[in-house]
Amino acid sequence: MGKFSLFLLGMAILIFNSASKAADLSLTLNKDEMKKADSIYQRYCSLCHGKEREGYKADHAPSLSSKSMLSTAYPQILYDSISWGRVNSAMDGYSEEAGGPLKDSDIILLIRWLAQKENISLVDLDQALISGNSSQGETLYSKNCASCHGDQGQGVSGPALADQLFLSSATDSYIKYAIVNGREDTPMQSFSKSLKDEEINNIVAYLRSQASGWRPNPLELAEWPNPEDYVINPTGEAPKFKLRESRYVPAHEVEKALEDNKKLIILDTRPGSAWQRIHIPGAVPMPYYRDKSKIADDLPNDGTWIVAYCACPHAASDSVINHLRSLGYKNTAVIDEGILKWIEMGLPVVAGKDKVNYVGN
């Protein structure tokens, strides 16, 4: 592996400026460090990205074994994406500042592990801005990119590109490199033969026009609920849910149960940072990666309905409900649509430390 460019060193300093000492970004992890990083990955990442980093296990999570991606995304884009998440996707922030479970040192170890697993050679990309016609780029984007990345760059089967965090970390050359070369082991093909260089520049210019200057803005974190507050409407009657496949409950039935003051528990199985940002009223944070031996702590096994949700919309919530059922919990279900669709349907959520209620659009 070659030496870091001056740019990469500068970016490394920026992203680790809160640390008391310079972060080690070398790809020289020893056996114990590799084992620890593998454990972090399997606990927090494999559910969506796959045990072998192959991707597409849940919610179109991309491959993390792509050399072309790792060689250009390391370290800045990888660090930012894991720390703060990606908008319009189920990828939430995992840093402690975002309300997640990982320390900066854990994230640094994880990105070093990802890069070292593939034995990457860093690609020293040109840092200059790329000139192009964004209007023409929009037309080209619609024709070549929108089917996977969304007509507004919101992400469909491919990652969201109109993401301020992504666009603040990704240079023009990084974006162009991906378009020209594609991403091996992913559906992202190379456009080097189907598009002219000028056309690719126009697409880059269009994507760049979507950025408006993102910067990390950590939430004022709320306290997690106390166990005595887990049960919603503890004196209410039990709801009567009609489950699909004996497991999935429609969102409207859960919302009706809340309106009718029925007795139930709602578990938010996404990362804690996602619960901090927005969640269904009364939901208890129960991240899918929590130690399985502790998931049932403080959850009554007395027939009270326990309903879980995530954004996938099923992978994380299925994981938690499967475990509860293995312990003998009978009245359990997964919200079929997940929280992203719940919000899209205009059902109530709460947001922020002050727990202000609002209705999604």
**What pLDDT score does 160 carry?**
82
Residue of 302 and 20 predicted with greater confidence: 302
**What pLDDT score does 355 carry?**
41
Domain closes at, from 164, 195, 218: 218
Same domain as 30, residue 163 = yes
Residue 182 β-bridge partners? none
pLDDT surpassing 50 at residue 16? no
Q: Position of tokens 């919200």?
A: 335
pLDDT surpassing 80 at residue 13? no
> Cα separation of 43 and 77, whole Å?
21
**What pLDDT score does 22 carry?**
61
Give the pLDDT band of residue 350 (cuts 50, 70, 90): confident
Q: What is the pTM of this model?
A: 0.76
**How many angstroms separate the Cα of 187 from the Cα of each of 32, 145, 171?**
34, 12, 22
Number of alpha helices (DSSP H) and beta strands (DSSP E) in the chain: 16, 8
Same domain as 99, residue 25 = yes
Instruction: Output the domain CATH number for residue 206.
Output: 1.10.760.10
- Least Cα distance to 80 among 251, 237, 215, 261 occurs for 215
CB 155 within 8 A of CB 50: no
Q: What is the pLDDT of residues 92-151, one digit of tens each?
A: 899 998 889 999 999 999 999 999 999 999 998 887 889 999 999 999 999 999 999 989
Same domain as 231, residue 354 = yes
Indicate the pairing of strand 356-359 with strand 348-351: antiparallel
**What pLDDT score does 238 carry?**
98
**Residue 207, helix vs strand vs coil:** helix
Residue of 71 and 185 predicted with greater confidence: 71
Question: For 280, what's the count of Cα atoms within 13 Å in the CB-facing half-sphere?
Answer: 38
> Cα separation of 78 and 22, whole Å?
18
> Cα separation of 154 and 60, whole Å?
13
Same domain as 211, residue 110 = yes
pLDDT surpassing 90 at residue 187? no
Residue of 5 and 79 predicted with greater confidence: 79
Cα dihedral sign, 231-233-234-238: negative
Same domain as 241, residue 92 = no
pLDDT surpassing 90 at residue 197? yes
Task: Provide the domain limits for residue 237.
Answer: 227-359
Same domain as 91, residue 142 = yes
pLDDT surpassing 90 at residue 220? no
Domain closes at, from 165, 190, 218: 218
Both tokens of 176, joined, read 């162009």
* Helices assigned H by DSSP within 63-133: 67-73, 76-84, 104-117
Cα dihedral sign, 350-85-221-299: positive
**What pLDDT score does 215 carry?**
62
Domain closes at, from 168, 201, 218: 218
Number of domains in the chain: 2
